Amino acid sequence: MADSHLSQVQLIQSLIDVVNTIGLKGDYIKSHKKECALLTRRVKLLAPLFEELRESRQKMSYKTCTALHDLEEALQSANKLLQMCHDGSKLYLVLERQAAAEQFDKVNADLECALDALPYDQFASDEVKEQVDLVRSQLKRAKGRVDNHDSQIHSSLVAVLHEKEDSSAGFEELQMLAEKLELRTPAAIRQENQALQEMMLEKQNLGDDNHEQEMCFQQLFTVLRKLTSILPPEESDEDTPELDRVNIAAGVYVSKATKHHAEIRAGLGIEGRGSQISDVESAGAEKAKMQVVPDDFKCPISLDLMKDPVIVATGQTYERACIQRWLDSGHKTCPKTGVLLTHLGLTPNYSLRSVIAQWCESVGMEVPNQVSSKPKPSKLLEYSSGERATVEHLLLKLRSGQADMQRAAAGELRLLAKRNVENRVCIAEAGAIPLLIGLLSTEDLKTQEHAVTALLNLSINDANKGIIVNAGAIKPIVEVLKNGSKEARENAAATLFSLSVVDENKVTIGSLGAIPALVDLLKDGTARGKKDAATALFNLSIYQGNKARAVRAGVVPPLMDLLRDPSAGMVDEALAILAILATHPDGRLAIGQASALPILVDLIKSGSPRNKENAVAITVNLATHDPVHLVTTYKLGAQDPLRSLVNDGTPRAKRKAAQLLENMRKQLESTQPFTGSECCT
């Protein structure tokens, strides 16, 4: 009895505590402010109910206890949601407003359900009963409401995401977004940067590190960089490295990712690179113009457009060759800030590299060639004697020829390479890469898995990419991809993706038989394996010669299967790859033979903005090169959704939709109309 009473007292106190916690949170961010305020007000109205329960000291029925437990759980969920809206990233919450709205709906529904089950009329005073009745009626009416202010902020953010770098309209939207979200000072930008990083790492820790999330965060770090660029001169903060460009977005992924190859995928998602690459065919139509290079794209040392931007320990970004010369000359400080560098590692800024490439294409400038990753002599980083000794000891084990020692050593190197940039350079310069490649052929599957994953983690360092490829790793990695364990196959695919970031490696990897093995993994791999295979195939197919190889390997049928099965969660990846293949004659033939047009037209009608963009790009390529496909597209009823895209699609989708409608119009005016009486207007 005493224990039961104690449990009852603890439950009531827990309810009071969570209500008080919610009531003390203060102001919320500009988006979702109304929902937060309404939810907080409703929760605070329940406080007198719990106070009366505590004062009554009467034993509660089983039904009452059960309902209060449910109510406490719902209130904890409300507290967690409100905490996210209080401390979370403003940009993320705006972009993901629909998901946040669904969370508010769920919390309101849970509270309503718990209150409905609570027999509060048996113990509450008349005044408190009226308050609870009021809360219940408000919760019933709370579902499905959309705040106009939030819609305006969301529209501004979407406009900023879709506008080109030099667009005056985009600049106006950016100013509006900064005003509405109060991101107008270096301090506010720093706080938002921290919140965005913490939210990103939380998603990764929860295992939510899929491609869509990666692209979401990459886009938001880009917006944050844009917001930094419009700070007034008097608000600039030269001593604050956090404000530099993409704000270490790629560096955060590389240095803080919690999964063994989340680091590889970050900042290099299919969608981001896809929109850059698959739009190449239309870039030539733009007139080349003399352009002033944005300051954010210039190296602070050379003041030239960066080809291979890298991030140093302070967070500043430089052209790799320039900062390497600075370091090789004996300097140990950041050139721009003068701050002593805590380490001499260089982290590739993939996000900025992608943004620079997109800007170059949008203004008709030649995209700067990526610097070769062939290894160059460089000074060994200053490691502690303990780190050196550990690596050397592990290499002795790798050379021992004893299976157990090799397995343990490969596993330890895998973890060390995952940990930080210094370890990756130290392990490579100690000579581990050839030894790990040798272990890829072992019959011990666990050793093989450790070895390929260690190479994956080492390949995060750009210089190591060249060492790995030049040491002859591709063929053994392909063998692991074909015959290894489930995790080894997945990590082999991820390694090929990482290595293929360097353009010259795309040719080597494609010529050594990797593509058929990746297609096999795309067909029969796990969900993670299929995603790894898709990212690698996308990157490899950027090279023209690999497009035909992918088609010959049979990549189109499994991609079509993924389009037909949205539950697999890979529609984005499948469309991105097909959009690249559709620029090649073999690809167009295979896609046409796969009866893709009905699915593509459906996606143009009802897909996400990015899916509509890629679907219409594929359709344009098919229809432009084969009038039969143009007729089929017309007969499938694509005209209305195409007109909608012209009005409200992404910039690229608008161009493609307009081009397809124009092709239809010309076909109708020709001597071969679609039918005798139809008209395309």
Q: What is the pLDDT of residues 123-132, one digit of tens each?
A: 888 888 888 8
DSSP-derived letter for residue 143 is T
Cα distances from 398 to residues 301, 410, 461, 471, in angstroms, run 42, 7, 22, 17
- Tell me what pLDDT residue 250 has: 32
Q: What is the pLDDT of residues 456-486, one digit of tens each?
A: 999 988 889 989 999 999 999 999 999 999 9
Give the pLDDT band of residue 206 (cuts 50, 70, 90).
low
**Alpha carbons within 13 A on the beta-carbon side of 675:** 7
Q: What is the pLDDT of residues 309-335, one digit of tens each?
A: 888 878 888 888 888 877 776 677 888
Query: Which residues, at least 6 apart from 604, have a Cβ–Cβ distance to it below 8 Å?
Result: 612, 615, 616, 619, 638, 641, 642, 645, 657
- Tell me what pLDDT residue 671 has: 52
pLDDT at 186 over 60: yes
Q: Taking the model in full, what pTM does it have?
A: 0.48
Check residues 52 and 616 and name the one with the higher pLDDT.
Answer: 616
Bridge partner residues of 305 (DSSP): 298
pLDDT at 249 over 70: no
Q: What is the pLDDT of residues 147-156, one digit of tens each?
A: 656 677 777 7
Burial class (CB in 10 A: 0-12, 13-18, 19+), 99: exposed
Tell me which of 258-262, 406-410, 416-420, 423-427 is least confident.
258-262
Q: What is the pLDDT of residues 107-124, one digit of tens each?
A: 999 999 999 998 888 888
Bridge partner residues of 347 (DSSP): 311
Q: Which two tokens stand for residue 587?
A: 């690809």
Percent over 70 (pLDDT), the chain:
78
pLDDT at 254 over 60: no
DSSP assignment string, 509-555: HHHTTHHHHHHHHHHHS-HHHHHHHHHHHHHHHTSHHHHHHHHHTT-
User: Does residue 305 sit in helix, strand or coil?
Assistant: strand
Cα angle for residues 595, 597, 601 (degrees, 5° grid): 150
Check residues 432 and 167 and name the one with the higher pLDDT.
Answer: 432
Q: How far from each other are the two terminal CA atoms of the chain, in whole angstroms?
A: 80
DSSP-derived letter for residue 348 is E
Antiparallel, parallel or unpaired: β 309-311 and 317-319:
antiparallel
- Tell me what pLDDT residue 369 has: 63
- Tell me what pLDDT residue 386 has: 53
DSSP-derived letter for residue 239 is T
- Tell me what pLDDT residue 138 has: 87
Q: Which two tokens stand for residue 249?
A: 């977005």
Residue with structure tokens 């070769």?
A: 372
- Tell me what pLDDT residue 489 has: 94
CA distance 316 to 671: 61
Which has the closest alpha carbon to 616: 628, 627, 602, 631?
A: 602
Check residues 24 and 505 and name the one with the higher pLDDT.
Answer: 505
Which domains, from first to last, does the chain contain?
A: 2-146 (no CATH), 182-362 (3.30.40.10)
How confident is the model over 61-76, as a mean pLDDT? 89
Cα 91 versus chain centre, distance: 14
Nearest-10 crossing angle of helices 97-117, 33-44: 20
Tell me which of 193-202, 203-212, 238-247, 296-305 is least confident.
238-247
Nearest-10 crossing angle of helices 609-625, 585-593: 100
- Tell me what pLDDT residue 290 has: 44
Check residues 262 and 555 and name the one with the higher pLDDT.
Answer: 555
Give the pLDDT band of residue 233 (cuts 50, 70, 90).
very low
Helices then strands, each counted (H, E), the chain: 37, 3
| Residue 318: other Cβ atoms inside 10 A | 25
pLDDT at 225 over 60: yes
CA distance 354 to 50: 55
